[in-house]
A and B are shown apart, each in its own frame.
Chain A
């Protein structure tokens, strides 16, 4: 049973901590007890760090006793195992880094801990964030709390499963082609990929640097906004992070939607989409209309090539980024190398799993002499066309609404032998990364007991509006409040 003494959302916990209803140490112990009791069935954590968490919680309680307050002070969270953490293993779910400890904290981790958050542990994910099912993890797949025979999505599958199972109120995620939004959709939680450059990538292990973006996952848009407030901001250690005036992402949550113009991309609603999910999108559009928005169809003519353009660009960048794993400076090293070339190729061959190897091979191929123009350069040209489609759509509308995924959570093992089918499930999410836009997934219904994700795509730096629309929708629906039976 859920302990009724502890509210589930970050926002409610924050109020309760301020009022002294319980301490951060008590709240942290509550989650550690739940993880200990329940996570064997979800495998959502790679590492749990109870001593570290209790020490952080005690420090948060001391800060509060000294008169400090803040919305995140003393709130536990689950941290995707792609963010470097000093003193706690950072594995990226790979054999390559299975025992690695980072010598520093990622900027995101520094900021969350400065705000007083308490790290419960590091969550499971697809190896090096490459996957859409969490099945490529060296530590075994995480499982979907709504049906443990199904995948939680990926790559931030452990974070989504942990939040859905109430093993943490909120979690960090990263999203290169849908890795926050897709697992949020399949597990029935809310997750936001911010505009590229909002959140520092320093200390966030690189997959595809022009696409990677960290973001928050939680039970509501309000919780996501609260966490985002602490995650964003320029960082001199990440030259692609963007200097902007500080913003309060909570500021617009309670504003009405009167006059809002919402576009529904026709290409997202075609034959590839499950009819039951299409009905959920239609219902959401009708709900937003009742709340004062106008709905119109828009077109993203190049949406059909987003998946191949994305996989060419992302694999190319990955093949370059992952060249750092050479068996010399950190990570796995093979036994008894006969020479340097053997050391490199066997250490990498042993340290990387199948999906990571496939991406490195695809990336190396599309960048190799004679193929660059036809593949990599071509994909970058398509990237501009895809971006232009979104820019044109935002001339007419404020925000886009559509599905996050074409289907609900699939069975473990169903797609793992067929990488191409797995890639094609990213059809609605990858274009957003190519264009660098903010995108959010939130619960929008259930089909056969499995959650459906709705995707909201905003214009550049318009996270406030995305969160406002999500929050208003959540004030009039209760799908985000449902709890999987396995988590009770």
Chain B
């Protein structure tokens, strides 16, 4: 199980995660080692086994669809890096 530099950069792009140029080879090598070990899971026969997403499968509670609490926008935005007039600011998307 070997992950090439190109594979690594493709995954990093999917994850929107900047990997510094000088670290790309290190991450690719580490991930290759990790995935090589993890490929052990391929050796177990799981034919007809239904995947388990959640250990307690009965959960998932419903409640009445009513307003439960007030949201204070100013307070929620207090931790945002850049806001103006109640909006989050990002670089221009449409010219």
| Nearest CB in chain A: distance from B29 CB, A | 11
Q: B30, A380: Cβ atoms under 8 Å?
A: no
A117-125, A166-174, A330-338, A447-455 - interface stretch = A330-338
- A345-B16, A378-B41 known; 10 new pairs, CB 8 Å cut-off, are A311-B34, A323-B15, A328-B80, A328-B81, A329-B80, A350-B18, A362-B31, A364-B11, A375-B41, A381-B46
Q: Which 4 A-B pairs have the closest CB atoms?
A: A436-B55, A349-B18, A380-B51, A333-B81
C-alpha spacing A309/B4, complex, angstroms: 23
**A344 with B16: CB separation less than 8 A:** yes
**Nearest neighbor of B49 in chain A, beta-carbon distance:** A381
- A-facing mask of B58-78, CB < 8 A → 1, else 0? 011101000010001001111
Count A/B pairs, Cβ under 8 Å.
170
Q: Specify the main secondary structure of chain A where it touches its partner.
A: helix
Q: Is A196 an interface residue (CB 8 A)?
A: yes
Residues of A that sit less than 8 Å from B by CB? 100-103, 195-197, 210, 234, 236-237, 239-243, 302, 304-305, 308-309, 311-312, 319, 323, 326-333, 337-346, 348-350, 352, 357-358, 360-362, 364-365, 368, 374-375, 377-385, 387, 419-420, 423, 434-437, 460
Contact present for A340 and B49 (CB under 8 Å): no
Contact A423:B34 (CB < 8 A) given known A239-B59, A305-B40: yes
**What residues of A have a CB within 8 angstroms of the CB of B86 in the complex?**
none
Tell me whether A379 and B12 are in contact (CB under 8 A): no
Q: Do A368 and B11 touch (CB < 8 A)?
A: yes
Q: Do A380 and B52 touch across chains, with their CB atoms under 8 A apart?
A: yes
User: Can you sample 26 A-B contacts with CB below 8 Å?
Assistant: A103-B79, A210-B54, A240-B56, A240-B59, A241-B61, A305-B44, A308-B40, A328-B81, A328-B90, A330-B79, A339-B93, A345-B13, A345-B16, A346-B18, A348-B17, A349-B17, A361-B17, A362-B35, A374-B42, A381-B51, A387-B52, A419-B34, A420-B34, A420-B37, A434-B55, A437-B55
Interchain CA distance A364-B44 in the complex, whole Å: 23
Nearest-Cβ distance from residue A215 to partner chain B, whole angstroms: 15
Residues of B within 8 A of A (CB): 3, 8, 11-20, 27, 30-31, 33-35, 37-42, 44, 46, 49-56, 59-61, 63, 68, 72, 75-82, 88, 90-93
The answer to whether A387 and B90 have CB atoms under 8 Å apart is: no
Q: Shortest distance in angstroms between B89's beta carbon and chain A's nearest beta carbon?
A: 8
B55 and A358 contact, CB distance less than 8 A: no
* Contact across chains for B40 and A101 when beta carbons are under 8 A apart: no
Asked whether, in the complex, the Cβ of B51 is within 8 Å of the Cβ of A385, the reply is no
Which residues on B sit within 8 Å (CB–CB) of A362? 31, 34-35
Contact in complex: B38, A361 (CB < 8 Å): no
- Least CB distance, A300 to chain B, in whole angstroms: 13
Within 8 Å CB of B14, what residues of A?
A: 364, 368
Q: Is the CB of B15 within 8 A of A420?
A: no
CB within 8 Å for A329 and B16 given contacts A103-B79, A358-B30, A381-B49:
no
Q: Which of B17, B55, B68, B76 contacts A352 (CB 8 A)?
A: B17
Q: CB-nearest residue of chain B relative to A319?
A: B15
The answer for the CA separation of A423 and B92 in the assembled complex, in Å, is 42
Q: How far is the CB of B42 from chain A (nearest CB, A)?
A: 7
CA distance A227 to B80 in the complex (A): 34
A residues in contact with B37, CB < 8 Å: 308, 420
Partner of B59, one of A242, A329, A345, A377: A242
Q: Are B75 and A103 in contact (CB under 8 A)?
A: yes
